[in-house]
Amino acid sequence: MSRPGTSPAILLVIVGLACQEVGASLAVLLFDDVGPIGMVMLRLVFSAIVLMLIARPSLRGHSRRGWTSVALFGLVLVAMNALFYLALERLALGVTVTIEVLGPLVLSIVASRRASAWLWAALALAGVLALGGGGWDRLDPLGVLFAAGAAASWAFYILASARVGREFPKLDGLALAMTVGAIVSLPFGIASAGSALLRPELLGLGACVALLSSTIPYAFELIALRRLSAAVFAILMSLAPATASLAGFLLLGQHLTWLEIAGIGLVIAASVGAVRSSARAAREAAEPIG
């Protein structure tokens, strides 16, 4: 039985995905001016400002556990964004996001604890190998390493986001976590972007990236997680490689080979299969014996 408000929640996730990839495409165009780390700082700072103005979170009445959750979430946001942009500087958007989605995929496979999980793992491996167009030597090794780090960070993001959503009402936890991330990234971003931060047009574009890549999708996802099961949410997030590839093609002119497209499709199929398997295992575990 679906939860009340499931359809609007699904739409929120899909719109968030689209905004995120458009924002990522715009960020790539700014790398020459502010650098990947400078872009991370702009994204987090503007997102924090907007969310704090919208949410106006209370700083009182929260437990130590709640503040710890917020701090960890903020650090995860910094790590995930930094590693993603560093990878995006060296790899195509669709390839980067496909590698990144392996984080949630591994999380689903581990959670399923079923023999079929090895099937999804093998399918994902085939997809990852295909991404190299038959040879990983054509991909930047450091970019792949950064994307793998972003994958691990994304898995932690899902766990941290759900935890903060339980500890804080509305968007309060997200606003506070984004502020933590902004403060942590500030010195590194200033060192990276330098005098480019004095150009109003770059600040304006940085604000647009923040809205598209962080504020809108993170807020939508946090709201959706209150209405969707983790399994359904993970399946929807599995579509990220497809939306990223489309955005990279339309906005950045990044063309993929048919083998790379097939690899992306295999990873998406593996993600969906693993999540469904994990959800089935959870239902069976919850059923009474006898």
pLDDT of amino acid 169: 77
Answer whether 0.75 is exceeded by the pTM.
Answer: yes
- Using pLDDT thresholds of 50, 70 and 90, give the confidence band for residue 1: very low
pLDDT tens figures, 5-56: 567 877 888 888 889 889 999 999 999 999 999 999 999 999 899 889 988 8
3-state secondary structure the chain: CCCCCHHHHHHHHHHHHHHHHHHHHHHHHHHHHHHHHHHHHHHHHHHHHHHHHHHCCCCCCCCHHHHHHHHHHHHHHHHHHHHHHHHHCCCCHHHHHHHHCHHHHHHHHHHHCCCCHHHHHHHHHHHHHHHCCCCHHHCCHHHHHHHHHHHHHHHHHHHHHHHHHHHCCCCHHHHHHHHHHHHHHHHHHHHHHHHHHHCHHHHHHHHHHHHHHHHHHHHHHHHHHCCCCHHHHHHHHCCHHHHHHHHHHHHHCCCCCHHHHHHHHHHHHHHHHHHHHHHHHHHHHHCCCC
